[in-house]
Structure 1
């Protein structure tokens, strides 16, 4: 869902076990296939790959109408901004009634979850994490610093199957299943990303709000902590 510039598809298609990728983006103005293939040459391989199906449509509508189930669904969506097109795709009702039924029994969902810095994690990150805990049996949050966003960013992975993997096994799987060399990800880097600092860990543990259309949180550009001082 989302990812119209092709970066998520590029990385997914490196995995040898992938049979098909459906990339659904709502933005008709950007025309991902034409614009990004021409100007974002680092992603051109993804757009030329026969395994990629490009759909220009609302992801919610597309998921509802599709009959097949997916092993993995990736939410590379725009941030939940008030009045924006994507905040409804972070709600419990969407996860529970539309997204989860489209996953295979052991399927995994992963989504970007907004800022996760010391002063920004309460905007949406903790709420998205807690919302997914209401829908899936196993949920893992992880973070990384994104220089272009000038902040630490959060992601959440969720499934009804356990996805804890030993360090040696993770590196072995990467070596066996990925074409070429990855520049960033290995087992230690993922374990580091999933090792959260004290403030973030406590905030995730104590979060009680569930993201809904009636009780939505939005990214405002400044952390909640700033507004409360």
Structure 2
């Protein structure tokens, strides 16, 4: 029997009705699947589906072929989807934007953690804002000198769904050093009386539920809650497609911190292939010191970060030097010696 041909528009409408929301999926198969999926369980059907990560401002996108739909839920904060892709393993999307892929998540998570943790003389207390997938928490806990980690996640469903379906956290949430707080990160920092040596902003996009984490008030609160010598890391997306946002964030951080500088990483699952963080410290800079002893203890378990990457990630391409020359702090490498 010849397969019935249906349009992608039909499938999009069907998925939208079932899930009561718009679905950022493109269907390229003309075949009707033998089983219709249910968003309440792992989906056994093999639809030729593509998830498309769209950057509306940049007018471009990238797509990933989906083998299975594992989880989908609309919470009061956002749409959460976890899919099994053909090329990148399991993938977390929030409001249709790729957050984490099994294949290359270690790049992002090693960089957001080990750059600041190995630049600080003795970071005992770490705050993670966001990070419900558990990857950043996993990397922080590799350091035995860390005594406490507080993870503040606004959406508890992110944590629970990632533990069940994404599975990258390596039991980090069960570590006795970890305290999980379900709250808005901005509200937590404004109300807490605790101080931290390192604050990591492992959030979604600035125009998402995380928008309160990219404001002058939040950065001021973060500065107040950092101990002397504390380091603040802000996730700032693509320096190519999001250059204006990055410039604004650098300006806001300069109003509070003595040393501010972006650092870069390459990641094939993010649009443009290059992502960025901003390193901001109360005193000192990313090359003031390097905890070589701590690095040697963990380096065998690393897949991307190393001492040379630490250094080179702060060396910006010329288009960034020209665009951000007034917004970044200077540094010298005299204390590093041979690398």
TM bin, normalised by shorter chain, reads 0.7 to 0.9
2:152 to 18, 24, 34: 24
Cα deviation digits, residues 13-50 of structure 1 (max 9, x gap): 111110011111111333x0x32222233313211211
| Cross-structure match for 2:249 | 128
Residue 318 (structure 2) pairs with residue 198 (structure 1)? yes
How far 1:206 moved relative to its partner? 4.1
Give the strand-richer structure, 1 or 2.
2
1:58 to 184, 187, 204: 184
- 8 Å contact kept, 1:36–1:44: no
Q: How many residues align?
A: 199
How far 1:171 moved relative to its partner? 4.1
Query: 1: distance between equivalents of 2:326 and 2:223?
Result: 25
Residue 231 (structure 2) pairs with residue 108 (structure 1)? yes
Query: 2: distance between equivalents of 1:202 and 1:87?
Result: 27
Query: 2: distance between equivalents of 1:49 and 1:18?
Result: 12
- 8 Å contact kept, 2:149–2:178: yes
Larger Rg, first or second structure (1 or 2): 2
RMSD: 2.1
Query: 1: distance between equivalents of 2:299 and 2:178?
Result: 16
- 8 Å contact kept, 2:238–2:271: no
Unaligned 5+ segments in structure 2 are 1-128, 329-339
Give the helix-richer structure, 1 or 2.
1
Report the TM-score when normalising by structure 1.
Answer: 0.79
- 8 Å contact kept, 2:254–2:327: no
Unaligned 5+ segments in structure 1 are 209-229
Query: 2: distance between equivalents of 1:171 and 1:182?
Result: 14
Does the C-alpha gap of structure 1 residues 166 and 55 become closer, same or farther in structure 2, counting only changes over 3 Å?
A: closer
How far 1:179 moved relative to its partner? 7.8
Does the C-alpha gap of structure 1 residues 166 and 100 become closer, same or farther in structure 2, counting only changes over 3 Å?
A: closer
Report the TM-score when normalising by structure 2.
Answer: 0.55
Higher relative contact order (CA 8 A, sep 6+): 1
| Cross-structure match for 1:90 | 214
Partner SS for 2:188: helix
